[in-house]
Structure 1
Amino acid sequence: MDAGGDGTVTVLARGEGLAAWRQIADGVAADIEAGRLGAGAQLPTEAALAARFGVNRHTVRRALAALAERGLVRATQGRGTFVETPRLAYPIGRRTRFSEIVSKAGREAWGDLIGTETVQADPATAEALEIAPGASILALQTVHRADGTPLSTARTCLPLPRFAGFDRAYATLGSLTRAFAEYGIADYTRRSTRIHARPAAADEAARLDLAPGRVLIVLTSVNVDAAGVPIQATRSLFAADRVELVVEG
């Protein structure tokens, strides 16, 4: 079953006990697995698929939702539905750099700042940053992309007043590493990383273009400067369908 956009009509089996939406989903999945729909390819619109299979758009929408739940496609608001790309190998070690990892894989890296606030450090964040509980910190909410595909969303906390204005530097440069360089930090290392997994909440799924309930890999990490002083405490949520964590020795 070719789900391309050449205008031909695909006749579905009727009266055989297999719902139309399931036949469409299985057909598109077969095209993806056979390579007829390559990684990153855009699927035809709902209207075009409905015309192709002789069904209504609700049936097509249910088929696409089933494919998203299987991690085969992702729906991007205002752009359409795309075949998921292969998982990106993401090393976790002393020098974990999102931009470097993505660039080495031949993909374009960028981070979007979607929110910022100055808050008081809770006890866990204060301990991670080695500051007093209740001290002021800058919290950034970000989304990190590879070739436009969101791989992770994160909440990054930085101590104040050392990093006052860091949000503006990040918004301009799209990279934590480049923003840290603006503050005289040429290099930094990972002190600790904790990893677990859980289902995505609705707002998290929306930020990552995921079907609700898809699995997230949660990384809680602390980075330090050359003097061993904590500069960053981050909780990152990775789309498990899009990355493969590689823990380095």
Structure 2
Amino acid sequence: MNEAGDSPVTALRRGGGLAAWRQIADALAGEIRSGALARGAQLPAESALATRFGVNRHTVRRALGVLAEDGLVRTTQGKGSFVEQGPIPYPIGPRTRFSEIVTRTGREAWGDLIAAATVPADAGWAEALGIAPGAPILELHTVHRADGAPISTARTCLPLPRFSGFDAAYAASGSITRAYAGYGVADYTRLSTRIGARPADAEEAARLDIAPGRSLIVLSSVNVDGDGQRIQATRSLFAADRVELVVE
């Protein structure tokens, strides 16, 4: 057994032309696909894997990097590596609520506020919110998680002064919907959604615990309140292999 006590020592083939890191990646991928390593499970520490395979930690790290690029694991700084849980069905309809969607899958939903600022609306955000270019808006940068795993990162803009202080309400509640309740918005609906795709840059990849260049689904959306007033414009970036979009 290795030092973690959960896997036997695995002998690698030497001199066969297949690099050690590739053999390790293939072995772990096989265990993930067979269910021996369950979805959401934490992998043994790099030191334990190095002991198991009789290699140094650099070789293990390279193997884990390949598995991350293939969408089989995610590595979180300071926490370790985890088997990806599989895509969440994500309906896009009149009422699209991240917290409700994630909770229905049996996972815990939460949103982290990364940054917030009051900025003048550029032409694109002004058009989306139905306001004049240059008007002040509150810009939020967030990361949304399911059982701690980052699913999406977003840039959300709201008109001011109506939503002054919304950043504090969001940070405390971890939910756009719950934060709206403090502003008298009991319900809101989706006015429009545009769907695109592109590779993740380094900053986006770091927020989502994925390798740079991995595919992102880009959702640009506008929400309105019960009176039809535009209250939110958002550009969300989803790790493509963590959601399955369902257009309703």
Give your verdict on TM over 0.5: yes
Cα distance change on mapping 1:218 and 1:58 into 2, 3 Å = same
Residue of structure 2 in register with 1:125 after alignment: 125
Aligned residues: 246
Distance 1:85 1:7 in 2: 21
Cα RMSD, aligned residues only: 1.1
Cα distance change on mapping 1:6 and 1:35 into 2, 3 Å = same
Q: CA deviation at 1:46?
A: 1.0
Post-superposition Cα deviations, 1:89-128, rounded to whole Å, max 9, x if no partner, equal: 0000010000010111111100000100000000011011
1:45 partner letter? A
Residue of structure 1 in register with 2:71 after alignment: 71
Residue of structure 2 in register with 1:137 after alignment: 137
Aligned residues with identical type, % of pairs: 73
Structure-2-length-normalised TM-score: 0.97
Q: CA deviation at 1:190?
A: 0.3
Residue of structure 2 in register with 1:238 after alignment: 238
1:145 partner letter? R
Q: CA deviation at 1:243?
A: 0.4
Q: CA deviation at 1:17?
A: 1.0
Post-superposition Cα deviations, 1:137-169, rounded to whole Å, max 9, x if no partner, equal: 000000000010100000000000000000010
Residue of structure 2 in register with 1:214 after alignment: 214
Q: CA deviation at 1:8?
A: 2.9
Secondary structure, aligned partner of 1:227: coil
C-alpha contact (below 8 Å) 1:187/1:226 kept by paired residues: yes
1:189 partner letter? T
Q: Which aligned pairs between 1:199-210 and structure 2 lie closer than 5 A?
A: 199-210=199-210
Distance 2:132 2:89 in 1: 37
What residue ranges of structure 1 are gaps of 5+ in the alignment?
A: none
1:110 partner letter? W
2:90 partner letter? Y
Secondary structure, aligned partner of 2:102: helix
Structure-1-length-normalised TM-score: 0.97
Q: CA deviation at 1:235?
A: 0.3
Distance 2:96 2:230 in 1: 15
Residue of structure 1 in register with 2:37 after alignment: 37
Q: Which aligned pairs between 1:1-249 and structure 2 lie closer than 5 A?
A: 5-6=5-6, 8-248=8-248
Q: CA deviation at 1:6?
A: 2.9
Q: CA deviation at 1:7?
A: 5.8
Distance 1:192 1:7 in 2: 50
Distance 2:105 2:11 in 1: 40
Secondary structure, aligned partner of 1:217: strand
Distance 1:132 1:9 in 2: 65
Distance 1:96 1:213 in 2: 27
Q: CA deviation at 1:83?
A: 0.2
Distance 2:43 2:54 in 1: 17
What residue ranges of structure 2 are gaps of 5+ in the alignment?
A: none
Distance 1:93 1:8 in 2: 48
Secondary structure, aligned partner of 1:241: helix
